[in-house]
Amino acid sequence: MKIKRIVLIGAAVIPFLAGCASQPISLAPVGPEPISRMTSGSKGYLQVFSATMELRAEPDSNTYFHPHSSYDIKDESGKVVRFVPNHASDMDEWPDEVILPAGNYIIVAESTWCGQVSVPLVIQKGKTTVVHLDNNWWPSSQTSSNQLVYLPDGEAVGWCGSMMKLSK
C-alpha cells in the first residue's frame, strides 16, 4: 500500500518538475487599456505586477513585505535591452514604472501560478501598458473576454495589444 502511494506521488510530481524545466509560457501580445488616457511625450510606459516574494522586515520581526520579482525586457530579436529590479527596496511593494520608446517588446517574468512567462508587449506613445502576473487583478465584468490576454490557467493578465510593425 505504501509503495503504491509513493509511486502515485512520484507520477504526479514528475510532469510538474518537467514543466518547470521547460521554456517560459508564451502569451498573446499585451497593450495599453483601450480607453487609457494619453499623456504627452514620445515614449510609453510599462508596469509589470510580477510574482511577489515574501521578505521579513527584520530577523526577529513578524512584519513581512512582498516586493515584486525582477524581469527582463527584450527587443523583438530576443536581445535583453533592460533588466528591471521591479522594486526600489525590500520594503517596496509597488512595481517600477519603466519608460520605453514606442514599439514591440517581450518581457520574461515570473507569474504567481504559472512560473516563468514570456509576454509580448506593445508600448504606445503616451500610454501605459500594464501586465498583471501576480494573480491580483480582476477586470470589470463589462469587459469583453476577447479584449483580454489570459494565462493557460484562465487568469487575465492584461489588455490585448496588436503588434505593430516597426519602421526602420
The CATH number covering residue 119 comes to 2.60.40
> Counting Cβ atoms within 10 Å, is residue 165 exposed (0-12), middle (13-18) or buried (19+)?
exposed
At position 23, the amino acid (one-letter code) is Q
Asked if residue 48 belongs to a domain, the reply is yes
H/E element, 18: helix 2-21
List the domain range (segments joined by +) for residue 64: 24-160
Asked if residue 7 belongs to a domain, the reply is no
Asked if residue 14 belongs to a domain, the reply is no
Rounded to two decimals, what is the model's pTM? Answer: 0.77
- Rounded Cα gap, residues 55 and 39, in angstroms: 35
Asked if residue 167 belongs to a domain, the reply is no
Q: What is the pLDDT of residue 16?
A: 44
Q: What is the pLDDT of residue 46?
A: 97
Asked if residue 121 belongs to a domain, the reply is yes
Asked if residue 5 belongs to a domain, the reply is no
Which of 103, 124, 128, 118 is CA-nearest to residue 149?
118
Asked if residue 120 belongs to a domain, the reply is yes
Q: What is the pLDDT of residue 2?
A: 52
Domain count, the chain: 1
Residues 78 and 161 sit within 8 Å (Cβ to Cβ): no
Which residue ranges in the chain fall short of pLDDT 70?
1-22, 36, 164-168
Q: What is the pLDDT of residue 116?
A: 95
